[in-house]
Copies of this chain bind each other. A is one copy, B any other.
Amino acid sequence: MKKELQLKLTIRLYTDDNERCFGPGIATLLSRVREHHSLRAAAISMNMAYSKAWRIIRTAEDIFGCKLLDSTIGGPHGGGAALTPAAEQILAAYETYSNDVQAFARDHFDREFGFFRTLSAQ
């Protein structure tokens, strides 16, 4: 059997009392809110219950000590949600950081796991 190994790297942020506060789930949720202008539509697009989406956002807001979503009233989208500047800042930091760590990890992958090609070719 000859297969290629793929790397999957997950970055999560916890508080010092081990409460999960940011990771791939909330990052996707926030970017979907940005796209759909609504937490409910964002949750639906991820097959996530609205109550769960709301809880994830609320927990992160408590930990970061700031609002992540602004309610919008009326306008072209008929009211909904938008990211606060703090949410934009956190999301951008998480995305930049994830990309940097991914790039490093990919660059070093073959050095450590190159032997696997020899193993799997035997």
Interface residues of A (CB under 8 A from B): 1-18, 21, 62-66, 86, 89-90, 93-94, 96-97, 100-101, 104-105, 108-109, 112-113, 115-116, 119-120, 122
User: Could you tell me if A65 and B7 are in contact, using CB atoms closer than 8 angstroms?
Assistant: no
Tell me if B6 and A9 are in contact (CB < 8 A). no
* Chain B residue at minimum C-beta to C-beta distance from A7: B13
- Chain multiplicity (copies): 2
Which chain B residues border A5 with CB–CB below 8 Å?
Answer: 13-16, 21
Across the interface, which residues of B come within 8 angstroms of A66, CB to CB? 119, 122
- Are A115 and B101 in contact, with the CB atoms below 8 A? no
Residue in B7, B9, B119 whose beta carbon sits within 8 Å of that of A86 in the complex = B119
A97 contacts which chain B residues (CB < 8 A)? Answer: 105, 108-109, 112-113
